[in-house]
Structure 1
């Protein structure tokens, strides 16, 4: 962590949080003075709005003119217990919803609005005004963990380490006992038939099928505990990308062949070679590791900033911002070979990585470009 003196906020905009839209074609950034929208492919500015106060999180509705806003930062524009649906065509709030406690995160699609509170998830139809469908109690969820797909939404359950999946069409509920420790990250694939989870330990990533809710794979990110920032499936669901506070981007192979080799490690390709077949050794010698990895930038940040607490029950920091800390390591796939890693904060960065093969036929990740998108 960089320990240089605290930067003067007058030196430039400060990105409180960042979020991709549904197809990763754009990403929205919440600022101390408003919000901005950028084109993912190039990192170029697409839209800038000054609203006269801080926005803690901004969630785009696809590529439409509607953006869900929650107040945040030092001088919030809106109360942190209200979600505002902003119509950028008229540059006014079209409708809003008020809650009894601060909002941790919002997810939005053409059909549904999901509002995440510390101990509750509310599910609404995207009507005007939004119509409540259901709400559920959860364990402490300060990071606003919630993944919204076309037909389902996944979020923490009432028990530690549990994932609850709500079918938006039928109203059915499914439960996955994913981890013994509190959840730190979860993701759905585009088809809605895979769920990836990580706990606050950050060493093991688990893959679950839906609707059977059975575990189909387990991957080892590393041996040392880490804060998992983001999980993201490639468009074809053949790869899973993972970032952590180790400043490392990992890619895991989800192909059927890889799943088979995970059950019976191949010493020729496994990280630990012949040791993967030796009985009685610790499990990390036989676990399934990433097939490619690269370093991404956390960015230089002021004194007192940290990626996040190790604990998934932590609830402090910047008001109105998911997890209380600027977004870091957010992953968005452009296609099956190209992915982005986005970070907020004083040193907000956009980085593009490409998956390819080296001369030996081994998969490698290389950084194709980067920029400080607020400059």
Structure 2
């Protein structure tokens, strides 16, 4: 018998979505009443704003006073087809952009604003009002997949599994046929010369170079399909963190920019040992697995509002919220050994993990602390 409560934001705080700023030093949380900003290092509240209605997503511009807001939840403060640039110094909307269809996600930097619709990505220069640079059709993108780097932005292309990269400096466009099935997650590294991708199958993580668009590495998260929630490069680009609905955080060691991973696995360190060298066995016996993994907390959620939705092409759920479901397993790095995992929902959680080496010289990842950040 299921005794979990139904979704009811009146019973207490309910985080609709969560998002890190560019350097993951803070994370913003959208609520049914407004939004909050928290310190990533401690999980402590930095500011809270009630705006008189629901916010579906809130995206911070660095640590400055500007936050991009999209209405959402049961009683949205703003229409879902408008981006509101909130000036927190004056606590008013300084400018806004209106679209014909609901906004799935917003990304912003000091120089650019990216607006993701279900079948379109708009690229703007950060001005008042924003100045449109380019506009691209995409395959259905209900999760608002988009990664904004210093000089490049990555988002789904016009066919399932395809990644499009737009060079913000030159205006050049590159296309990577990354997967056969629709994308579920993608991320750029800080330098903007690597992009990581996962499809809705969730078994393989692929690493691509930019601007050459060649595949540098391929990693196996697992054998069973899974919903990959988030991908995030460490600041130095030496590791990739991956979370999924298996409630597992994986750490993959990445090749240097000038080398690729060895095609021949080392039986001494490989998950399957000597079996990795047997040529007639299925490929999962020789694939590269994570060098360290641990569990993170998904949090208890009402039936139907958890992470069960796997499709990257269907859109349903909470209005104004990327993917229509509360954010889960969002990954960020404070530095090259400290990982953050943040989740929204009725049971909203913040966790920190430390990457290190054990007595045998093997890489490990252990949880350092956690809290329910809305309590």
Shorter-chain TM-score bucket reads over 0.9
Residue of structure 2 in register with 1:70 after alignment: 70
Q: CA RMSD in A?
A: 1.3
Residue of structure 2 in register with 1:294 after alignment: 294
Residue of structure 2 in register with 1:320 after alignment: 320
Q: Which runs of 4+ in 1 moved over 6 A?
A: none
Whole-Å separation in 2 of the counterparts to 1:184 and 1:262: 27
The Cα shift of 1:150 comes to 0.3
Whole-Å separation in 2 of the counterparts to 1:42 and 1:187: 24
* Pairs within 5 Å for 1:1-375: 4-6=4-6, 8-256=8-256, 262-375=262-375
Give secondary structure in 1 for the equivalent of 2:335.
coil
Relative to structure 1, the CA distance from residue 6 to residue 268 in structure 2 (aligned partners, 3 Å threshold; closer, same or farther) is same
- Paired residues in the alignment total 374
Relative to structure 1, the CA distance from residue 20 to residue 291 in structure 2 (aligned partners, 3 Å threshold; closer, same or farther) is same
Is the Cα contact below 8 Å between 1:106 and 1:113 reproduced in 2? yes
Whole-Å separation in 1 of the counterparts to 2:125 and 2:268: 52
Whole-Å separation in 1 of the counterparts to 2:183 and 2:32: 29
Whole-Å separation in 1 of the counterparts to 2:97 and 2:192: 28
Q: Which moved more, 1:255-264 or 1:7-16?
A: 255-264
Relative to structure 1, the CA distance from residue 205 to residue 258 in structure 2 (aligned partners, 3 Å threshold; closer, same or farther) is farther
Is the Cα contact below 8 Å between 1:217 and 1:259 reproduced in 2? no
Is the Cα contact below 8 Å between 2:318 and 2:325 reproduced in 1? yes
Is the Cα contact below 8 Å between 2:9 and 2:32 reproduced in 1? no
Is the Cα contact below 8 Å between 2:85 and 2:96 reproduced in 1? yes
- Summarize deviations over 1:220-261 as a string: whole Å, max 9, x none: 000000000000000000000000000000000003499755
TM-score between both structures, scaled by the size of structure 2: 0.98
Is the Cα contact below 8 Å between 2:352 and 2:367 reproduced in 1? yes
Whole-Å separation in 2 of the counterparts to 1:308 and 1:83: 28
Whole-Å separation in 2 of the counterparts to 1:297 and 1:278: 37
Relative to structure 1, the CA distance from residue 321 to residue 7 in structure 2 (aligned partners, 3 Å threshold; closer, same or farther) is closer
The Cα shift of 1:306 comes to 2.4
The Cα shift of 1:10 comes to 2.6
The unaligned stretches of length 5 or more in structure 1 are none
Is the Cα contact below 8 Å between 2:33 and 2:50 reproduced in 1? yes
The Cα shift of 1:360 comes to 1.2
Whole-Å separation in 1 of the counterparts to 2:306 and 2:221: 21
Give secondary structure in 2 for the equivalent of 1:334.
strand
Is the Cα contact below 8 Å between 1:228 and 1:244 reproduced in 2? yes
Whole-Å separation in 2 of the counterparts to 1:258 and 1:63: 34
Relative to structure 1, the CA distance from residue 7 to residue 121 in structure 2 (aligned partners, 3 Å threshold; closer, same or farther) is closer
Whole-Å separation in 1 of the counterparts to 2:23 and 2:360: 33
Whole-Å separation in 1 of the counterparts to 2:303 and 2:220: 32
